[in-house]
Amino acid sequence: MLYGLRHLHTGWHVDQAIPKEEERVVVIRFGQDGDTACMQTDEVLASVAEKLKNFAVIYLVDISKVADFNVIYELYDASTLMFFYRNKHIMVDFGTGNNNKIDWVLNDKQEFIDIVETAYSGARKGWGLVISHKDYSTKYRY
């Protein structure tokens, strides 16, 4: 476990963590802890957790140990980030066609901070879908 990031070890813990937060965005990284993509994502998450502590809380869930959400959230990728606010799933339009989650490795700390700030800002306004500050469609990734 990385310093500053808490693991949720059961489906019950996940179900309790999401509605517990009233004022901050809940960011959950679903993935397999030993996977390289997950470890890269976790490093970014750990490095920005302190900066985001006032408006986001970050949890880690190992999908090989907690499989309760694999089908519901379509957790098939090595690393998946999802956002929740006041017990509501916050979708973010990245231009990729999948608004439910981030299913690629984010290596840029500031980019992740910007995404969380966007999700938080939209969620506080009551929006269930927010538009990302950057288009991540394949034509812009290269």
Burial class (CB in 10 A: 0-12, 13-18, 19+), 139: exposed
DSSP structure class, residue 82: E
Question: Burial, 131: exposed, middle or buried (Cβ in 10 Å; 0-12, 13-18, 19+)?
Answer: middle
6-140 CATH, one of 3.90.1150.10, 1.10.10.10, 3.40.30.10, 3.40.800.10 = 3.40.30.10
Mean pLDDT of the residues in the chain? 89
Q: Is the pLDDT of residue 1 over 50?
A: no
Q: What is the pLDDT of residues 4-57, one digit of tens each?
A: 689 999 999 999 999 999 999 999 999 998 899 899 999 999 999 999 999 999
pLDDT at 142 over 80: no
